[in-house]
């Protein structure tokens, strides 16, 4: 074993030396390729969403033992993890902020606030819970996040949502685990290891724009890692592994834009692009210039884009300006690329389109005993109805009353076609509620359920219990009818943001949305009370009992007078002679 390792290490050095000057090996049998892409989409409210995607695709089977020992573009930490723990699919997202679907439209890929981890394991894994615990601990070390807090109290096994996004040979939901940590904070310490997983790091290519000071000064920041097996080619007889690292940022007009709606790469990231990553086979910047009303364009992009790409994304035809960083003519005029977007005319509010599906969740009620969780789902399509799966995970300390669950659409009750409810066990399992609801056209569906707040043991409270307790976002998975039918596209030729979800038929597209997380106050004791009680009790005991004890047991004795000093004794002797009683 040692000899083989030595030989492989030597061969690895040779490979590294051989591959360094050229592009990613397209001719090698075990090729891996990197594609990087940045999508700038202006949002209806004047903000701008920037989505980075880095996709490393490796034509090797990670699950085969002994097949892989040399890692080139695919990071070794994640490759070893997939092989050792029998992971089929891994999706980890760390998000700060909330995507406002009603104002901004459907996102390409949304994640809930906090940390979300969902994993499909291979059928060969015997103890899925043990592998899940090990996986969350290892990931907490890699990404500097508190994922080790994922345990049975916040893990669920969904039965209808979260179908695998990669190649699947049957979907036994016993192999799926889903957990969300809404309290997780995302900051530079999570971005640093994420950037280190990229083949070029943050030194070349699109990743030079990822500077923490600008990225976290935003309304929404989400970074994710997705690992899944995909078809190696059109015949789909062999498996390749794909690692996608996505980062979505929404820059706010008022905080980053200083009130003006004109955007440029320098204004957003305080940096411009100078070159592509030398290890990437494709490196492109897409700018969404779709006309909203099919009249004139309302966005002007400088420098003028060398090419324009049209694609059907989320059921609608969109136009993109494309800058290819591997094209040497792009850097002819200036050494750096600073894409600037200017609005040609101001937007009026009539142009703001509401998305077909959006949702809103809130908690109502008063006092610290009971409450109600309400979810409103809006279907704004004028004539098409479609189904949606709602997955709610509620922690055990909010005791749900399922008999109060009501689903009302247009004033009438709407019975779900499929409902799965798993009640919570105190301190062991959260509530899981999954429902498949048909949303009629142009309707608002309101789902309400009442709950009661539990009183925790005093050691179970976090150090800042008056902040409240978070309830994770609920997940809505839906097949939304598309405006324009989508054709089957070749994954390798189309931009990365079109191939996130495998598309089945063109009449509808799959979307996964998240609602707001909730912040709920539990009845919190006053933690200084033990000290107060001890002081008060001891005082009361000392004063009351002590006084009674004294009254009952104290006796008075006459004390012998003392002999006195010399003068007194002389006076007593004189008095004795006189026959007078002594002093």
DSSP letters, 348-406, are -GGG-PPPSEEEEEEEE--TTTEEEEEEEEEE--SS--EEEEEEEEE-TTEEEEEEEEE
Phi-psi region of 357 (alpha: psi -120 to 50; beta: other; left: phi over 0): beta
Instruction: Rank residues 201 and 365 by Cβ distance to another protein and give the closer one.
Output: 201
The answer for 198, left when phi > 0, alpha when psi is -120 to 50, beta otherwise, is beta
Q: Which of residues 5, 67, 302, 317 is near another protein by CB under 8 A?
A: 67
84 binds another protein (CB under 8 A): no
Q: C-beta of 503: minimal distance to another protein in Å?
A: 9
Q: Tell me if 387 contacts another protein by CB under 8 A.
A: yes
Q: Could you say which of 369, 406, 504, 532 contacts another protein (CB under 8 A)?
A: 504
Stretch that binds another protein, among 40-48, 276-284, 332-340, 417-425 (CB under 8 A): 417-425
Whose CA is closest to 162, among 147, 151, 173, 170? 173
Interacting residues with another protein between 155 and 174 (CB under 8 A): 159-160, 163-169, 171
Query: Within a 10 A sphere around the Cβ of 222, how many other Cβ atoms?
Result: 25
How many Å apart are CA 65 and CA 473, to the nearest integer?
38
Distance separating alpha carbons of residues 151 and 429, to the nearest angstrom: 9
Judged by CB under 8 A, how many residues of this single chain contact another protein?
A: 74
* Cα–Cα distance for residue pair 247/47, rounded to 1 Å: 16
CA nearest neighbour of 410 among 440, 435, 375: 440
Instruction: Please say which residue, 307 or 417, places its beta carbon nearer to another protein.
Output: 417
Q: 189 or 492, CB closer to another protein?
A: 189
The region of 37-45, 210-218, 365-373, 376-384 touching another protein under the rule CB under 8 A is: 210-218
Residues 229-258 that bind another protein (CB under 8 A): 231, 235-239
Name the segment binding another protein (CB under 8 A); options: 110-118, 183-191, 324-332, 446-454: 183-191
494: contact with another protein by CB under 8 A: no
Nearer to another protein, 187 or 337 (CB): 187
**C-beta of 55: minimal distance to another protein in Å?**
17
CB-nearer residue toward another protein: 458 or 545: 458
Residue in 127, 203, 217, 306 binding another protein, rule: CB under 8 A: 217
Q: Does 141 bind another protein (CB under 8 A)?
A: yes
The mark string for 461-480 relative to another protein (x by CB under 8 A, - otherwise) is -xxx------------xxx-
DSSP state of 541: I
182 binds another protein (CB under 8 A): no
211 binds another protein (CB under 8 A): yes
Separation of alpha carbons 32 and 86, rounded Å: 21
Helical pair 188-196 and 128-143, crossing angle rounded to 10 deg: 100
Contact partners, residue 474, CB within 8 Å, separation at least 6? 361, 375, 390, 391, 392, 393, 514, 515
Q: Quote the least distance from Cβ 256 to another protein, whole Å.
A: 11
Phi-psi region of 114 (alpha: psi -120 to 50; beta: other; left: phi over 0): left
Q: Compute the least distance from the CB of residue 111 to another protein, in Å.
A: 16
The answer to whether 520 contacts another protein (rule: CB under 8 A) is no
Q: Which of 31, 193, 278, 365 binds another protein (CB under 8 A)?
A: 193
96 binds another protein (CB under 8 A): yes
- Secondary element (H or E) of residue 509: strand 508-514
Determine if 13 is a binding residue for another protein (CB under 8 A).
yes
The least distance separating another protein from the CB of residue 140, rounded to whole angstroms, comes to 7
Task: Pick the closer one to another protein by CB: 68 or 518.
Answer: 68
Nearer to another protein, 159 or 340 (CB): 159
Q: How far is the CB of 139 from another protein (least distance, A)?
A: 8
* Dist CA 344 CA 130 (whole Å): 57
Give CA–CA dist 364/295, Å, rounded: 44
- 11 is a site residue for another protein (CB under 8 A): yes
* Residue 66 C-beta: closest distance to another protein, Å: 6
Name which of 170 and 579 has its Cβ closer to another protein: 170
What mask, x for binding another protein by CB under 8 A, covers residues 297 to 316? --------------------
Which residues are registered as beta bridge partners of 413?
Answer: 408
Q: Which residues contact 145 (CB under 8 A, 6 or more apart)?
A: 94, 115, 139, 184, 186, 190
Whether the CB-CB separation of 250 and 226 falls below 8 Å is answered with no
């Amino acid at each position: 074993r040692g000899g083989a390792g030595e030989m492989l290490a030597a061969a690895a050095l040779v490979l590294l030396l051989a591959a360094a000057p050229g592009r990613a090996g397209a001719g090698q049998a075990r090729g891996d390729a990197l594609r990087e892409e940045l999508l700038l989409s202006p949002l209806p409210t004047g903000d701008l969403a920037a989505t980075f995607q880095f996709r490393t695709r490796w034509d090797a089977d990670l699950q085969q033992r002994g097949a892989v020992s040399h890692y080139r573009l695919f990071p070794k930490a994640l490759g070893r993890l997939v092989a050792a723990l029998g992971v089929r699919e891994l999706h980890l997202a760390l998000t700060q902020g909330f995507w406002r679907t009603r104002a901004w439209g459907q996102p390409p890929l949304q994640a809930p606030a906090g940390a979300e981890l969902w994993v499909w394991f291979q059928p060969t894994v015997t103890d899925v819970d043990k592998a899940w615990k090990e996986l969350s601990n290892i990931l907490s070390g890699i990404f500097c996040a508190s994922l080790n807090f994922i345990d049975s109290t916040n893990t669920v096994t969904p039965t209808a949502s979260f179908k695998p996004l990669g190649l699947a040979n049957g979907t036994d939901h016993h192999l799926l685990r889903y957990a969300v940590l809404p309290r997780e904070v995302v900051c530079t310490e999570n971005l640093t290891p994420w950037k280190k997983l990229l083949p070029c790091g943050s030194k070349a290519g699109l990743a030079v724009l990822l500077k923490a000071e600008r990225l976290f000064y935003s309304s929404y920041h989400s970074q994710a890692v997705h690992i899944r097996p995909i078809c190696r080619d059109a015949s789909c007889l062999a498996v390749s592994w794909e690692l996608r690292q996505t980062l979505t940022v929404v820059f706010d007009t008022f905080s980053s834009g200083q009130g003006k709606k004109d955007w440029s790469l320098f204004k957003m990231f305080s940096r411009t692009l100078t070159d592509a990553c030398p290890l990437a086979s494709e490196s492109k910047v897409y700018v969404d210039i779709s006309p909203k009303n099919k009249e004139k364009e309302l966005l002007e992009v400088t420098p003028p884009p060398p090419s324009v790409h049209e694609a059907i994304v989320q059921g609608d035809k969109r136009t993109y300006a494309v800058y290819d960083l591997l094209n040497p003519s792009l850097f002819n005029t200036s050494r750096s690329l600073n894409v600037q977007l200017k609005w040609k005319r101001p937007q009026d509010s009539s142009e703001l389109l509401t998305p077909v599906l959006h949702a809103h969740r809130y908690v109502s009620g008063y006092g610290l005993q009971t409450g109600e969780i309400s979810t409103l789902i809006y279907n704004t399509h004028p004539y098409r109805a479609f189904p949606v799966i709602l997955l709610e995970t509620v922690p055990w300390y909010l005791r749900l009353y399922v008999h109060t669950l009501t689903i009302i659409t247009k004033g009438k009750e709407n019975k779900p076609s499929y409902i799965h409810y798993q009640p919570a066990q105190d301190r062991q399992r959260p509530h899981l509620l999954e429902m498949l609801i048909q949303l009629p056209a142009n309707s608002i569906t309101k789902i309400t359920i009442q709950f009661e707040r539990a009183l925790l043991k005093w050691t179970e409270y976090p150090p800042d219990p008056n902040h409240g307790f978070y309830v994770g976002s609920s997940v809505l998975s839906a097949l939304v009818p598309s405006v324009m039918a989508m054709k089957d596209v070749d994954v390798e030729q189309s931009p990365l943001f079109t191939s996130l979800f495998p598309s089945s038929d063109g009449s509808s597209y799959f979307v996964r949305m998240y609602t707001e997380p909730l912040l709920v106050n539990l009845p919190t004791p006053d933690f200084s009370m033990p000290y107060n009680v001890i002081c008060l009790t001891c005082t009361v005991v000392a004063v009351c009992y002590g006084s009674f004890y004294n009254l009952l047991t104290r006796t008075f004795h006459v004390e012998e007078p003392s002999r006195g000093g010399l003068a007194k004794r002389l006076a007593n002797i004189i008095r004795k002679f006189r026959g007078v009683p002594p002093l």
